[in-house]
Amino acid sequence: MRTFNNLRLEVSRLRQLYFTAKYAADETASSIAAKLKSAEIDGHAKLYFQGKEEDTYLISGSVFALGHRLKRQLPRYLRELVFVRTISALETFLVDSVIEVFALTKEPFKRNYVIEIPQAELLSAESLSDIFTKVITKECRSLHGGGFSEIKKYYLRTFGINFADFSDVLKLEEYHDRRHLLVHQLGKADSVYQKKYNTQQKRVTVDEKYLLESISTLFAFANSINEKLDHKFRAISPTTKKPVTYKYKVTVTLETESARNLVLPAWEFWADNRLVFLRDILASSTYLDEGTVELDLQGDRVPIKNYVKQLKQYEKMGELTILAHEAQNLEPCRLSVGEINRIRTSLPEKPWPVGIHKTIAHNLGLKVSEVYKAMNQIVKEDNPPMA
């Protein structure tokens, strides 16, 4: 799942942050000790960031105090911050995975309970995709608010995935409880925590062994969940695709957040009374800068045309600007060789006048679209690609 790759990257960066900052602290402490020994600096002097002598940039009231904090206080703060961020990254992975499954299939979410959407919001929705977005956003907001315990119940109820099957699930619960104390009580242990984990400690913290073990445990758990989700839902993606009959390359500048949603692979829209994902017709998307994206659309003509129509509607509303576009019809001509030859002999000298395909179609009693395809085929035959 894509969300697991995001977690993997986040965990890797947090590990790097910890050891990089620890290395920097050790080097700074060694440098201070050497300078104090050589009397190069005054141990009682205040220390400011880049020499800016303002309270905002004060690093320490004295060099001696900084040396002490570099060895004890700052590393402890760093471990706690990295730990809290790692727990948050896991919860984000678990919730974002719900969204990713929702984009693949709606089946697990079809439950018979009532959800409330204000009439104004419902009538303001521009597509069914907007309504789907409101539904899944509402569910995920409640998961973020409920924390690990609610996420655990949700996964069992919705996906049939039991966190209790993971051998270290009790550790995971303790990690979340400890994170709660660090964030909301600055590490002060309350009676609930003391009773639950049979401890008398008045304050919780995070030493290096605990930090590294928790990161490994959390990552192993996330990997297990990712494998279960992959096994259950990845195969739902269509295994057969229609042949590519139409290509459309378009470059747009996105002016609003709403327009940014329009270019997400999970964007949904209607085409011929069926719901289509943008990813079904999206061969690639390339950001040329922060707000400009080039979309390479390939597939069946109808959904591509419907999607381009949406782009043009958003452009009219001022939410995006279409900078360039190019269409290419690849649908094969179904006319016989004889009919194609009749079209060939009916063509005037180049350059062909605008609308010549309509004139020939009328004269020969053929469909305009078929004559257009035949003319494309004739051009290809008369101008074969260079070897």
| pLDDT tens string 312-334 | 999 999 999 999 998 877 677 78
Which residue type is seen at 208?
E
Cα distance between residue 368 and residue 61, in whole Å: 84
Q: Where are the domains of the chain?
A: 2-40+72-233, 246-329, 337-382
> Which pLDDT score, from 0 to 100, does residue 239 have?
42
Which token pair is 280?
């079904």
Cα distance between residue 30 and residue 27, in whole Å: 5
Tell me the H-state helices in 235-316.
257-262, 301-316
> Which pLDDT score, from 0 to 100, does residue 243 have?
66
Which token pair is 218?
């959390």
- Asked whether the beta carbons of 162 and 156 are under 8 A apart, the reply is yes
Residue 286: beta bridge partners? Answer: 294
What is the DSSP pairing of strand 246-254 with strand 58-60? unpaired
Which token pair is 122?
């419902």
What is the DSSP pairing of strand 320-329 with strand 292-299? unpaired
pLDDT of 260 over the 50 cut:
yes
- Asked whether the beta carbons of 351 and 286 are under 8 A apart, the reply is no
pTM score, whole prediction: 0.60
- Asked whether the beta carbons of 70 and 25 are under 8 A apart, the reply is yes
Tens of pLDDT, residues 26-39? 999 899 899 888 98
CATH topology of domain 246-329: Alpha-Beta Plaits (3.30.70)
Nearest to 305 by CA among 287, 331, 285: 331
Which token pair is 174?
């303790």
Look at 201-215, 229-243, 349-363 and tell me which has the smallest mean pLDDT.
Answer: 229-243
DSSP string, 291-302: TEEEEEEEE-HH
pLDDT of 8 over the 70 cut:
yes
Which residue type is seen at 9?
L
pLDDT of 263 over the 70 cut:
yes
pLDDT of 214 over the 80 cut:
yes
